[in-house]
Amino acid sequence: MRLAYFDCFSGVSGDMCLGALISAGWPAAELEALPGRLRLEGVTVRSEIARRGPFAATRVSVRVERDQPHRHLRHVVAMLDAAEIPAAVRDQASAVFGRLAAAEAEVHGSTPEKVHFHEVGAADALVDVVGTLEGLAALSVERVYASPPRLGGGSVESAHGPIPVPAPATVHLLRGAPVELGPVPFELTTPTGAALLATLVSDWGAPPAFRLERSGTGAGSRDLGERPNVLRVLIGESAGSSIARRRVAVLETALDDENPQVVGALVPRLLAAGALDAMVVPSVMKKGRPGVWLIVIAPAEAADTFAAQILTETSSLGVRLRFDERYELGRRIEQVATPFGAIALKVAALPAGGERAVPEFESVRAASERTGQPLREIAEAALAAWRSRAGGP
């Protein structure tokens, strides 16, 4: 299993993630082409070497030459749907922005749908989030670990005026994660950086033993003098089993007085907000009433956020919560060429050796709609192409 470890001794931000991944070997040209694939007009990306304390680090800056609109979550998701990016990256990016929207909504006493993305929703945040996800995928990273991020202190200007550091959204996003305040009166961890970590990190603290293959150093925008304002990423191959164990939150509620259309619409919203899985099971409730059993599996640190979303968006008066552990196979996303175009597959490493691939349905469906060919035929072609490339039968 290929993993990445983010060393957040000076916090984390979206541009620091980009710089670290370019420093680790992701071609800068791929990032520079990203605004075009996101259809962001008047936006360019530049990377250069910057000195931060004793480190020569990669500094990434996103330049916006024209005003960008304030965007709601639906606008961001629509942009991601229209962008020329892999389906897996699109899904992860939607989850990151879903977390940001939920955090901002909680801070302002609103709902994720009504939140305006100000700083976090601007063009640079779209580049930061999608670029980080694409960079990790390009470097074949399957699992992410991180040290407890340092948050900083003092205050920072925002669209709402001066706010304390850590920013309220950052606090909500990192609930359940180990953090360190200070040690300087500046913002070290931004909401975008916090949302990326909250979505990607499997475990906080030291990763399992791994063979170090690459490393990269990304520079923060502020030079803190003797204290190096950098983010390091270490990338390598795990020396252990392909089976990982992860602590998750399981949230459940039974509904016998809710419109089924509401429940049906809620499931994809939960997934977009970062739920690991969500399902609805038909059931018979008290007094013989037909109902549904809503089950959501989420990262352990996000239990409160998903409980609040369920209680807000359904008729439920209570959500049951327990914490379980689950085994997970290491996985990655691969693209293969087929007669119907490029198709994404999820490739899992099996415990006894070897790999298993499953075509990503959204990628198959997009190809089917584009070509008019049956879904099964496209999926079989993708598997055949993957087996041929992997040297299988």
- CATH fold group of domain 244-329: Alpha-Beta Plaits (3.30.70)
DSSP at 222: S
Report residue 86 as tokens. Answer: 């892999």
Report residue 16 as tokens. Answer: 């620091």
Burial label, 203 (beta-carbon count in 10 A; 0-12, 13-18, 19+): middle
In this prediction the pTM is 0.64
Burial label, 99 (beta-carbon count in 10 A; 0-12, 13-18, 19+): buried
Report residue 297 as tokens. Answer: 């599996």
What pLDDT, on a 0 to 100 scale, did the predictor assign at position 240?
60
* pLDDT tier, 277 (very low <50, low <70, confident <90, very high otherwise): very high
* pLDDT tier, 113 (very low <50, low <70, confident <90, very high otherwise): confident
Q: Is the pLDDT of residue 122 over 80?
A: no
Q: Is the pLDDT of residue 117 over 90?
A: no
Order of all β-strands in the sheet with 341-349: 331-338, 341-349, 355-359
* Tens digit of each residue's pLDDT (9 = 90 or more) over 319-336: 999 988 888 887 888 889
What pLDDT, on a 0 to 100 scale, did the predictor assign at position 252?
97
Sort strands 2-7 and 143-146 into parallel, antiparallel or unpaired. parallel
Spatial neighbors of 338 by CB under 8 A, at least 6 apart, are 367, 378, 381, 382, 385
Q: Is the pLDDT of residue 393 over 60?
A: no
Average pLDDT over residues 56-66: 91
Range with the poorest average pLDDT among 62-66, 175-179, 310-314, 364-368 = 62-66
Average pLDDT over residues 249-274: 93
* pLDDT tier, 66 (very low <50, low <70, confident <90, very high otherwise): confident
Q: Which helix (H) or strand (E) holds 270?
A: helix 260-272
* Tens digit of each residue's pLDDT (9 = 90 or more) over 127-154: 999 999 999 999 999 989 999 999 999 9
* Longest CA–CA separation in the chain, Å: 71
* pLDDT tier, 32 (very low <50, low <70, confident <90, very high otherwise): very high
Dihedral of alpha carbons 324, 325, 327, 331, sign? positive
Which comes out higher in pLDDT, residue 226 or 233?
A: 233
What pLDDT, on a 0 to 100 scale, did the predictor assign at position 333?
87
